[in-house]
Chain A
Amino acid sequence: MAKGLPNDLQLLAGAARAVPAAAERTGRIAGHDRRIARAAAGDRQAAAELLGELLPRVRNLVRFLCPGDSEVDDHSQAALIEILRALPGFEGRSALTTWADRITVRVTLRRVRKSRSQQASLQPLDEGEIRDSTPPPDGSAMTRRQLAEMLDRLPEPQRQVLVLHHLIGMSVPEVAEALEVPFETARSRLRLATGRLRALCVDDGAADD
């Protein structure tokens, strides 16, 4: 076993080097992608390739879900680990990316809840942290980042409801279940979040209405 590892890791290193181009080029990972079965069977190279392609999406989703940049990579790595662990149970009925989105949401929310429970009170958003973050050079990325920063200005519960509903496409009952809140609470938060975001858009002149 040990004898084969260096080659596997050599390939892993190659896969990791190839990540940026692959991740930016490709979109979804189909449910029937052969690497999924290989990774589920313990193939390290296949797992590394899949993680490399999933990583940008996972990080972006985490960033949409959480205020600021400081926890993005921690949460993302936890999500990747959970994705790998759950891979043998993936049935291929949807795109891997869609399935991975759900896991990322679950892991991130769990970690946010845990972090919140460890704090005496929710820390207010650190404006400086947001302003100091490095803006991506691309114009569309700036806009997307601005949107994330706008979401940072929403109360956390409202932000989560809005992201789960509008970004992930969960129904309100699904959102309520994911957040472990009553249906009416989820619906109310969604309504508030939507209204608040609209107001922020108007204030910032970022919206086109």
Chain B
Amino acid sequence: MTERERLPAELSRLLTLEPLDADPGPAAPLDGAARRALIEGALANWAATGTHAAAARRPRTLAWLAAAGALCVGSAAAYYTAQPGGHFAAPPTPEDAEPLQRAPLHAPAPAPEPAPMAPPATPETQVTAEPPTAARPARAAEDLLARANRLRGQGRYRAAERAYLEVVQRAPGGPSAEVARIAAADLRLERLDNAGGALGLYRRALRRPGPLEVEALWGSARALRALGRPAEERKTLQRLLKRHPSAAPARSAQGRLDALSTTGSQGPWSK
């Protein structure tokens, strides 16, 4: 008789990988924003460390990093600068300077000084400092985004909000910051009863429309509804439908728009 056969039948049934594909498993449920942040963090790390093929084809030189475009630059900056005890050569831009209490994301640990950076320090020039090791960006990504996700998963919404905003503050303009900003806005709207604050974050995200523009528009509309501003809500919904007619929330947006048209500011659609 093998060890496997000695397990109770019920446990053997559960201790297989196959059901994990189809059924919910033992891990706690993960909401959409946290899932997106987790995946985006992995992708950003993949790109920032130059391990994906597109990066591998190019030498990871300062010139390439400088020319990589705002998105890649922002991503790299996020992970090069957001180190425990790390240094931030440039302050956040005014639009990203959230009035937040900096959360102690991790115990400060002495970190080597980054390589000298050419002044003035802009988000683009920050990345001219090569990380001491390839592992540093990975650690930073985990420390920031994953920790924020974890806090959110634990139901510690205020701490999670601060952690997301920390990501925004450390890497303004990068894809990680964009994800974190939307995640923080969603928390404000859905968990922290702060629709006004959520609207501010969504609108900041919309100043430079990126891959999460749909989420930003949809969030703005929901926040405006919560604030009782139907005229602005209508405009936002129309903009969403015009720019992203096949996006996931388009159907709900159309329903809400119809309700606004027929009943004024109220309708059956719920946030």
Q: Which residues of A contact B (CB under 8 A)?
A: 1-3, 5-6, 9-10, 12-14, 16-20, 24, 26-28, 40-42, 44, 47-48, 51-52, 55-57, 59-64, 69-74, 76-78, 80-81, 84-85, 88, 97, 101, 133-134, 136, 138, 140-141, 143-145, 147-149, 162-163, 165-169, 172, 190-191, 194-195, 197-198, 201, 206-209
Contacts and interface: CB of A to CB of B under 8 A. Distances in A.
Nearest to B16: A167
B47 A44 contact: yes
A167 B154 contact: no
Contacts of B42: 51, 77, 80-81, 84
Given A2-B69, A55-B39, A88-B53, A61 B17 contact: yes
Contact of B21 (A26, A77, A165, A208): A26
Given A73-B153, A134-B29, A141-B23, A207 B46 contact: no
B25 A144 contact: yes
Contact of A144 (B23, B38, B154): B23
Nearest to A97: B21
B142 A47 contact: no
Q: List 9 tightest A-B contacts by C-beta distance, closest first.
A: A2-B69, A60-B25, A9-B211, A148-B26, A42-B54, A141-B24, A207-B8, A42-B53, A27-B21
Interface string B2-38: 0110111111101111111111111111101011101
B248 interface: yes
B28 A69 contact: yes
Contacts of A42: 52-57
A195 B146 CA distance: 36
B53, B149, B211: most-surrounded residue (chain A CB, <10 A): B211
Contacts of A85: 46, 49, 51
Contact of B22 (A24, A55, A101): A24
Contacts of B30: 55, 59, 73
Contacts of B132: none
Interface string B205-247: 0000011101100000000000000000000000000000001
A80 B6 CA distance: 33
A88 B145 CA distance: 26
B115 interface: no
Contacts of B211: 6, 9-10, 12-13
B161 to A, nearest CB: 17
Given A1-B68, A69-B27, A208 B212 contact: no
B25 A141 contact: yes
7 contacts: A1-B69, A19-B35, A42-B54, A64-B26, A81-B42, A84-B52, A133-B28
B23 A72 contact: no
Given A6-B210, A81-B46, A69 B24 contact: no
A166 B12 contact: yes
**B interface, over-half SS:** helix
A77 B53 contact: no
A197 B150 contact: no
Interface in B171-192: 175
A76, A80, A144: most-surrounded residue (chain B CB, <10 A): A144
Given A2-B71, A57-B21, A197-B11, 18 more contacts: A1-B72, A2-B69, A16-B39, A20-B32, A27-B18, A42-B54, A42-B55, A47-B43, A52-B35, A55-B35, A73-B150, A77-B38, A77-B41, A77-B142, A136-B28, A144-B26, A147-B15, A166-B4
Contacts of A16: 32, 35-36, 39-40
Nearest to A74: B146
Contacts of B126: none
A66 B184 CA distance: 28
A77, A80, A149: most-surrounded residue (chain B CB, <10 A): A77
B27 A59 contact: yes
Contacts of B32: 16-17, 19-20
Contacts of B158: none
B201 interface: no
B71 A5 contact: yes
A140 B21 CA distance: 13
A64 B19 CA distance: 13
B70 interface: yes
Nearest to B143: A74
A143 B27 contact: no
Given A55-B35, A165-B4, A9 B71 contact: yes
